[in-house]
């Protein structure tokens, strides 16, 4: 939601609040005489009695309790802190009243009047606080809806990009040609690579249709993809790939790491260089860390940027799949392109 709209909502709320106070003022003004004018009494108390604790309660609930407790469903802590905060707001309102109007104006009977007055002010603070929670909840809900709409607008574009990236004709053409050449030299090895290609095709066509897949399947796909890429070079040390940690019983969104790996192969021109591509995956119970580095040619990178999944689409997909549960760091320094993606479980 735009900041201007949020500001308008806040202004609208406080305008309505002041109108409500003015309405109460008009009711009191029509009260029969015979004692101190209630309207005058209310006018003097209005600032300290209703506005100060109302503002404090509203923004404490809005700015602190919502993010720290309500959104995390810590309802008991929310209630306890909300009640405590309302009394603090009431105390502040009482202190302001004492400073502005003196002790005898509001708490002229000592504890006899201070206790009920503090309770009433606390209720005013809580009511404003609850309304503050409601407004913050509405703004957050609208923001989530807007984000989902923006992501859905790019959904078709992303799906098409994923399909193109998954079934890359250039990759398939080169792989099939390499296997064809290998058949005459080593039919057994060629058969192994052909089976790997078949497994990759099966994975892309069937396994990626669900929202989550076992991590072990994703890792198996990556390993086979790297093996097929490595047959294009005689350098056995061209790619370094390692997985550390236990991947059993862990689930992950399909095709999460492969776009970065594909980009690494596209951007790496010198296949005679040792460890031109470094791929490391670290797995713990709390998170999965994906590290990918590759040596790149600037000319090749500019050309490759025109195809495949761009960083913007990848980041949008991560926001959709892992909101507030991922970290993506990308850098390109000294002809080394680095990607570090952390997925929190």
Would you call 36 helix, strand, or coil by DSSP?
Answer: coil
By the 10 Å C-beta count (0-12 exposed, 13-18 middle, 19+ buried), 116 is classed as exposed
pLDDT value at 291 more than 90: yes
- Domain region containing 57: 3-149
- Indicate if 145 and 207 belong to the same structural domain: no
pLDDT value at 187 more than 70: yes
Distance (Å, rounded) from C-alpha 80 to C-alpha 70?
12
Lowest mean pLDDT among 117-126, 188-197, 304-313: 304-313
By the 10 Å C-beta count (0-12 exposed, 13-18 middle, 19+ buried), 94 is classed as buried
pLDDT of residue 146: 75
pLDDT value at 163 more than 70: no
- Indicate if 188 and 337 belong to the same structural domain: yes
Sheet order of strands, 239-244 included: 239-244, 277-283, 287-295, 336-344, 326-333
Contacts of 107 (CB under 8 A, 6+ apart): 94, 98, 113, 114, 117
Rounded to 5 degrees, what are φ and ψ at 250?
A: -105, 140
CA-closest candidate to residue 73, choices 151, 129, 137 = 137
- Indicate if 206 and 115 belong to the same structural domain: no
Distance (Å, rounded) from C-alpha 329 to C-alpha 334?
16
Q: Which of 149, 164, 185 is the last residue of a domain?
A: 149
- Indicate if 135 and 161 belong to the same structural domain: no
How many structural domains is the chain composed of? Answer: 2
CATH number assigned to the domain comprising residue 255 = 3.30.565.10
- Indicate if 22 and 60 belong to the same structural domain: yes
- Indicate if 215 and 318 belong to the same structural domain: yes
- Indicate if 305 and 256 belong to the same structural domain: yes
pLDDT band at 155 (very low <50, low <70, confident <90, very high): low
pLDDT value at 287 more than 90: yes
Q: Which of 149, 169, 198 is the last residue of a domain?
A: 149
Distance (Å, rounded) from C-alpha 177 to C-alpha 183?
10
- Indicate if 187 and 145 belong to the same structural domain: no
- Indicate if 44 and 91 belong to the same structural domain: yes
- Indicate if 275 and 309 belong to the same structural domain: yes
Lowest mean pLDDT among 163-167, 234-238, 257-261: 163-167
pLDDT in tens, 16-68: 888 887 787 677 666 555 444 444 455 555 666 678 888 888 888 888 888 88
Dihedral-angle region of residue 73 (phi above 0 means left; psi in -120 to 50 means alpha; beta otherwise): left
pLDDT in tens, 84-107: 888 888 888 777 767 766 655 555
């Amino acid at each position: 939601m735009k900041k201007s709209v949020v500001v308008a909502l806040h202004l609208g709320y406080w305008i309505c609040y002041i109108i409500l106070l003015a309405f109460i003022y008009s009711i009191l003004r029509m009260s029969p005489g015979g004692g101190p004018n209630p309207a005058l009494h209310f006018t003097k108390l209005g600032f300290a009695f209703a506005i100060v604790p109302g503002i404090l309660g509203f923004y404490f609930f809005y700015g602190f309790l919502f993010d720290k407790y309500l959104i995390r469903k810590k309802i008991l802590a929310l209630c306890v802190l909300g009640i405590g905060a309302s009394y603090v707001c009431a105390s502040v309102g009482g202190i302001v009243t004492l400073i502005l109007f003196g002790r005898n104006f509001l708490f002229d009977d000592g504890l006899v009047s201070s206790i009920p007055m503090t309770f009433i002010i606390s209720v005013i603070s809580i009511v404003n606080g609850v309304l503050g929670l409601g407004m913050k909840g509405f703004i957050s809900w609208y923001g989530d809806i807007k984000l989902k709409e923006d992501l859905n607008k790019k959904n078709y574009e992303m799906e098409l990009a994923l399909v193109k990236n998954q079934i890359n004709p250039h990759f398939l053409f080169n792989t099939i040609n390499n296997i064809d050449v290998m058949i005459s030299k080593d039919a057994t090895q060629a058969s192994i690579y052909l089976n790997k290609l078949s497994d990759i095709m099966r994975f892309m066509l069937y396994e990626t249709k669900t929202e989550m897949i076992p991590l072990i399947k994703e890792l198996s796909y990556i390993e086979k993809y790297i093996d097929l890429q490595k047959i294009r070079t005689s350098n056995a040390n061209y790619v370094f790939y390692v997985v550390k940690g236990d991947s059993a019983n862990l689930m992950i969104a399909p095709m999460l790491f492969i776009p970065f790996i594909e980009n690494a192969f596209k951007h790496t021109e010198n296949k005679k260089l040792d460890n031109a591509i470094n791929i490391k995956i670290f797995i713990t119970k709390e998170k999965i860390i994906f590290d990918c580095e590759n040596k790149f040619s600037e000319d090749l990178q500019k050309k490759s940027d025109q195809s495949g999944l761009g960083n913007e689409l990848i980041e949008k997909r991560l926001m959709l799949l892992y909101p507030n549960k991922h970290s993506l760091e990308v850098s390109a320094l000294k002809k080394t392109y680095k990607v570090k993606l952390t997925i929190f479980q």
